[in-house]
Amino acid sequence: MNATLDPKTISPGAQPDAADVRTGAEVLLRVLREQDVEVVFGYPGGAVLPIYDALFKQNSIRHILVRHEQAAVHAAEGYARSTGKTGVVLVTSGPGATNAVTGLVDALMDSIPLICLSGQVPTHLIGNDAFQEADTTGITRPATKHNYLVKRPGDLSRVLHEAFYVARSGRPGPVLVDLPKDIMVGPAPYHPASGAPHRSYRPVSEPAPDAIAQAVEAMRQAKRPLFYTGGGVINAGPEASEALRRLVRMTGFPCTSTLMGLGAYPTTDRQFLGMLGMHGTYEANLATHGCDLLINIGARFDDRVTGRLDAFSPHSTKIHVDIDPSSINKIVRVDMPIVGDAGRALQMMIAAWEGTASADPVAIAAWWKQIDAWRGIDSLRFRQDPSPDAVIKPQHAIRRLYELARETGRDCFVTTEVGQHQMWAAQHFQYEEPNRWMTSGGLGTMGYGLPAAVGVQVGNPDGLVIDIAGEASTLMNIQELGTICQYRLPVKLFILNNRYMGMVRQWQELLHGSRYSESYSEALPDFVKLAEAFHGTGMRATTLGELDDVIRRMLAHDGPVVADICVDETENCFPMIPSGAAHNEMILGPEQNEQAGRITDEGLMLV
């Protein structure tokens, strides 16, 4: 079996010499340095005081003090997703660890490599209901890819090196290491990482050549092929996105992407059909429905993507490249499973394709003709009243944001909260490169975007970092404006303020007889004053005439800005495939031909 072996792995090498015995906290920091950790997002407390003391005495690792432990995890996620490195979080025992749980599950669902270091009560008190004791490994077992409780000083360096290896190997994910206070205070031996393979965890990253050959043969024969790419391509690193671009261009096939995969293939390219799924484009979804070969690279057939399962891409042969064998045949049975790294698989496909062409160029041309007809529906179209005192359409605000941000020529990173604004950001902003789009897809965590933007900005100090937000989500981690101020992070918080939990309001309108139960954002704060209270700059646009000016001022300002963009309160996000419906039962917006999308009773049960 092929194993992903990282030079910086795991089990201890030579015996430590006497000089290598220091406090557990010092050993911890030394391992972090050896693992190239530059920054830790954290919040102190009793159980981690020895670690904070060790941090105080050194200069190579930077600590970013967040204002809530959940935000520490999201910040580390943003950092990891935008830099390709492993994010590191440090929290205290008890409430520090429990506050981190939402972030850990978020990272687990979205395959983000993280290390969460949590303080724990001293080993002799574990199990005694000691002050700020929680069964952290018990609580986080289903919330992490793996977790450890370090009970012996001799295990400390090995466990920490191993945690990094596990977090970034195979399908990446969060790994928690619970650190009892006595282990941090007392002496512990330091072991460097050794290159020895892990005892048991050795995910396969090299695809089987015959599986690739079979897949490429199917691609040659295909008449209506479609690439369906996902977050796994981003996980596989920028080379994988590069290979995807080459392969898509070589083959001339159309390409769609999940929410998590945006940016792997440039969204402005002609061969890109837009996102697929619940709020995907008409052409992407109908192509998924009508294709005869679906080439899934690093996507996991999520229910937001498949809609009604028995009607999902019913006529296609399915290829699925995934590094996690448990993702394959989990939801949709596929014909050609390929276990391995997306980047490697794409490179092997390129090599196998090179020098040949499609068996049937006429069929491919006809397929494109069909796709272009679907494209003609222009499913993302909306109507913005052009008069200066018109109400701003949220889609228009995002399009202007994109255009004006592009004019700055800066490297732009977008994070989002969760809701309609998130979907509009996926549909109307453009992503030319991977690692520029950070969103909470799997867990859909409101409050993700602002702390994630903190992490992105820390990892990319020269980047233009914008959180495209909703007013309700923003309030879930608004305290991070404090972090943003403290570290002078020039994050732009761009709030599409519709005074509603818009996504909830939309479902209530479409599925619950317009009974807007508890979805109005009552008693909203004045976001401009809020920005000022946190020593930032606030701006507001209430009409179309004010929009461009506010965006320009926001982009030109070199400090943090909160832009309160008051948008149409009743706008809905289209297209939409209602839960439980098939891809060809999409509801289009009022601007497109109204197609009656039937919402079944079964759909009401789904989320």
Partner 1 sequence: MAPVEEAPITAVISVLVENESGVLARVIGLFSGRGYNIESLTVAPVDEARTRSRINIVTTGTSMVIEQIKALLYRLVPVHRVSDLTALGPHLAREMALVKVVSSGELRTEALRISDAFRARAVDTTVGSFVFELTGAPEKIDSFIDLMRPLGLVEVSRTGIAAIIRGPRTI
Ligand X SMILES: Cc1cc2nc3c(=O)[nH]c(=O)nc-3n(C[C@H](O)[C@H](O)[C@H](O)COP(=O)(O)OP(=O)(O)OC[C@H]3O[C@@H](n4cnc5c(N)ncnc54)[C@H](O)[C@@H]3O)c2cc1C
Ligand Y SMILES: Cc1ncc(C[n+]2csc(CCOP(=O)(O)OP(=O)(O)O)c2C)c(N)n1
Contact range with partner 1 by CB under 8 A, out of 112-120, 126-134, 326-334, 457-465: 326-334
- What is the rounded CA–CA span in Å between residue 247 and residue 353? 8
In angstroms, give the least distance from the CB of 198 to partner 1: 8
* Binding to ligand X in span 100-159, by CB under 6 A: 110-111
Helices (H), 222-281: 231-235, 238-251
Q: Indicate which single residue of 299, 380, 454, 465 sits in contact with ligand X (rule: CB under 6 A).
A: 299
131 is catalytic: yes
Residue 199's binding partner, choosing from Mg ion, partner 1, ligand X, none, with beta-carbon cut-off 5 to 8 A by kind?
Answer: partner 1
* Binding to partner 1 in span 241-300, by CB under 8 A: none
- What is the rounded CA–CA span in Å between residue 55 and residue 29? 8
Run of H or E residues at 134? none
Residue 400's binding partner, choosing from ligand X, Mg ion, partner 1, none, with beta-carbon cut-off 5 to 8 A by kind?
Answer: none
In angstroms, give the least distance from the CB of 498 to Mg ion: 4
Interface with partner 1, residue 127, by CB under 8 A: no
In angstroms, give the least distance from the CB of 87 to ligand X: 16
* Binding to partner 1 in span 190-229, by CB under 8 A: 198-201
Q: Which is nearer to ligand X, 45 or 419 (CB)?
A: 419
- What is the rounded CA–CA span in Å between residue 254 and residue 287? 9
Report which residue's Cβ sits closest to ligand X.
Answer: 231
Q: Indicate which single residue of 112, 166, 188, 565 sits in contact with partner 1 (rule: CB under 8 A).
A: 166
Q: Which residues bind ligand Y (CB under 6 A)?
A: 417-421, 444-446, 470-473, 496, 498, 500-504
Residue 502's binding partner, choosing from ligand X, Mg ion, partner 1, none, with beta-carbon cut-off 5 to 8 A by kind?
Answer: Mg ion
Binding mask 487-506 for Mg ion (x = CB under 5 A): -----------x---x----
- What is the rounded CA–CA span in Å between residue 295 and residue 315? 13
Annotated active-site residue in 69, 77, 283, 471: 69
Interface with Mg ion, residue 447, by CB under 5 A: no
Q: Where in 421-503 does DSSP place strands (E)? A: 437-438, 464-470, 492-497
Classify the C-alpha dihedral 587-590-594-598 as positive or negative: positive
Coil, strand or helix at 40: strand
- What is the rounded CA–CA span in Å between residue 128 and residue 276? 51
- What is the rounded CA–CA span in Å between residue 508 and residue 504? 6
The token duo for 4 is 């992903």
Per DSSP, what are the bridge partners of residue 149? Answer: 178
> CB–CB of 462/411 below 8 Å?
yes
Size of the site for ligand X (CB under 6 A): 38
One-letter amino acid for residue 242 of the chain: E
Using omega within 30 degrees of 0 as the cis cutoff, is the peptide bond preceding 575 cis? yes
Q: Which is nearer to ligand X, 178 or 283 (CB)?
A: 283
Q: Indicate which single residue of 137, 214, 519, 584 sits in contact with partner 1 (rule: CB under 8 A).
A: 137
> CB–CB of 233/297 below 8 Å?
yes
Interface with partner 1, residue 601, by CB under 8 A: no
- What is the rounded CA–CA span in Å between residue 434 and residue 180? 39
Binding mask 396-425 for ligand X (x = CB under 6 A): ----------------------x---xx--
Q: Which is nearer to ligand Y, 25 or 478 (CB)?
A: 478
Q: Indicate which single residue of 11, 83, 329, 384 sits in contact with partner 1 (rule: CB under 8 A).
A: 329
Residue 231's binding partner, choosing from ligand X, partner 1, Mg ion, none, with beta-carbon cut-off 5 to 8 A by kind?
Answer: ligand X
Contact range with ligand X by CB under 6 A, out of 3-11, 16-24, 258-266, 283-291: 258-266
Q: Which is nearer to ligand X, 342 or 414 (CB)?
A: 342
Interface with partner 1, residue 129, by CB under 8 A: no
Q: Encode burial over 165-177: b for 16+ CB neighbours within 10 A, e otherwise.
A: bbbbbbbbbbbbb
- What is the rounded CA–CA span in Å between residue 213 and residue 519? 52
* Binding to Mg ion in span 468-487, by CB under 5 A: 470-471
Q: Which is nearer to partner 1, 141 or 406 (CB)?
A: 141
492 is catalytic: no
In angstroms, give the least distance from the CB of 81 to partner 1: 22
- What is the rounded CA–CA span in Å between residue 87 and residue 74? 9
69 is catalytic: yes
Q: Indicate which single residue of 224, 289, 304, 375 sits in contact with ligand X (rule: CB under 6 A).
A: 304
One-letter amino acid for residue 207 of the chain: P
Max CA distance (Å), the chain = 77
In angstroms, give the least distance from the CB of 326 to partner 1: 4
Binding mask 269-298 for ligand X (x = CB under 6 A): ------xxxxxx-----------------x
Annotated active-site residue in 145, 181, 318, 393: 181
595 is catalytic: no
Rg, Å, the chain Cα set:
25
Residues 6+ apart with CB under 8 A from 342: 232, 233, 235, 236, 240, 244, 297, 298, 321, 322, 323
In angstroms, give the least distance from the CB of 61 to ligand Y: 31
Q: How many CB atoms lie within 10 A of CB 237?
A: 16
> CB–CB of 143/70 below 8 Å?
no
Cα dihedral 45, 48, 49, 55 in deg (nearest 10): -120
* Binding to ligand X in span 210-249, by CB under 6 A: 230-232, 235-236
- What is the rounded CA–CA span in Å between residue 91 and residue 453? 20
> CB–CB of 426/573 below 8 Å?
no
Annotated active-site residue in 336, 501, 503, 576: 503
Q: Where in 387-463 does DSSP place strands (E)? A: 412-416, 437-438
Which parts of this chain interact with Mg ion (CB under 5 A)? Answer: 470-471, 498, 502
Which parts of this chain interact with ligand X (CB under 6 A)? Answer: 110-111, 171, 230-232, 235-236, 258-261, 275-280, 298-300, 302, 304-305, 321-324, 327, 341-342, 418, 422-423, 441-442, 444, 503
Enzyme catalytic residues: 69, 131-132, 181, 503
